[in-house]
Amino acid sequence: MSQLSFAFETPDEKPALVAGQEPATALSLEDLAQRLEAHPDYRVLRRLLPIMDFGPLPASPSAVGQPSPALRILILDTETTGLSQTTDRIIELAMLLVSVDTGSGQPFGVLDTFEGFEDPGMPIPEVARQVTGITDEMVRGQRLDDEQVQAMVARADLIVAHNAGFDRPFVEARFAAFVAKPWACSFMDIDWKARGAESAKLSALAQDRGWFYDAHRALVDCHALLQVLASPDAQGSGTGLSRLIEAMGRPSYRLRATGAPFEGKDRLKARGYRWDAEARVWFTHLDSAEALEEELAWLGANVYGGRRAQVEVETLDALTRFSARAGRIEHHPLPSVSAADGRDQ
């Protein structure tokens, strides 16, 4: 196989690709990238560039001249002084407001953007400075524009963040406008593994699509997330935005195994339940009513030994999911089954 090398005559000239003894031909960097991509031993990453205008509304696949309904989705990211939603503060907020065709899941039109700093009233911890690159000097005396933020949120039909369980409590504590809006989480509400991804981390999802970017600044993270979510499914059945629109209308459930016998803890842990030390209860999350019914049957057979018991089920919709507020809580009796039925399934 011929060896490839790059030839530069002066620093300002375009590189030339030399293969064996062939004459050098001036190539642009994009030409070089395309040549590398054509070789099975190379993958090329390009810097992700913000798209500020996604173009006209896509044609409706179902009826000529009858466009699908559109939703306005607000992509959001925060940078904060730390991880505690009670003691830490927002230091940067970025938002993108985009129209999305519900039929195709494709964005269209011009983006509205917001980016701003806020002085947290405390020194930014060193770990936060290292992760975000945001310094005390950058935020000193700064305040997010309440009127602009709340006006932008008011226009949104759905709020999306890549870790909504982190971002939602922070922004709801700062801006009341976020409380009454439905939310979806692009990390939790999409089965990225089923879509071929090895990791649901945003930077990894971007790399899967051939992009890199400077992570951990709010605005570029928003642009990266939007472009990842706008990418078509491999099966051609929509986009990540399509999946989030579906999730908006689908309730989920937090199931707490209240009063579970101590000897069942290993089965619960192996099943993926987590321990809430404050409430002293094992719990799990379920994304459909069918999964809830199956889990109730499994608990009755494998943890409670078929005895009569009730467990706590919290129903979460898009208005409460990922917030610090509780959903609708009910107590469900476990199905009457023998201890052997469904064991270890």
Write the pLDDT tens digit of every residue in 25-51. 568 888 888 888 888 888 889 999 999
Tell me if 302 is assigned to some domain: yes
305 and 240 assigned to the same domain: no
Q: Is 61 left (phi over 0), alpha (psi -120 to 50) or beta?
A: alpha
13 and 96 assigned to the same domain: no
Domain containing residue 85: CATH number: 3.30.420.10
- Domain boundary at 231, 248, 265, which? 248
pTM for this predicted structure: 0.82
Tell me if 57 is assigned to some domain: no
Mean pLDDT, residues 220-238? 90
Is residue 222's pLDDT more than 90?
yes
- Domain boundary at 213, 248, 283, which? 248
Domain containing 145: what range?
70-248
Q: Is 6 left (phi over 0), alpha (psi -120 to 50) or beta?
A: beta
Residue 125 is classified by DSSP as P
38 and 79 assigned to the same domain: no
231 and 300 assigned to the same domain: no
Quick one: pLDDT at residue 61? 56
195 and 320 assigned to the same domain: no
- Domain boundary at 222, 248, 274, which? 248
Mean pLDDT, residues 8-15? 44
Tell me if 152 is assigned to some domain: yes
34 and 102 assigned to the same domain: no
Which of 302, 296, 312 lies closest to 340 in space, CA to CA?
302
Tell me if 141 is assigned to some domain: yes
Number of domains within the chain = 3
21 and 133 assigned to the same domain: no
Of the listed ranges 106-120, 228-242, 322-336, the least confidently predicted one is 228-242
Which of 132, 134, 136 lies closest to 215 in space, CA to CA?
132
Higher-scoring residue by pLDDT: 255, 336: 255
324 and 285 assigned to the same domain: yes
User: What radius of gyration, in Å, describes the C-alpha atoms of the chain?
Assistant: 25
Is residue 10's pLDDT more than 60?
no
In this prediction, residue 306 has a pLDDT band, given cuts at 50, 70 and 90, of confident
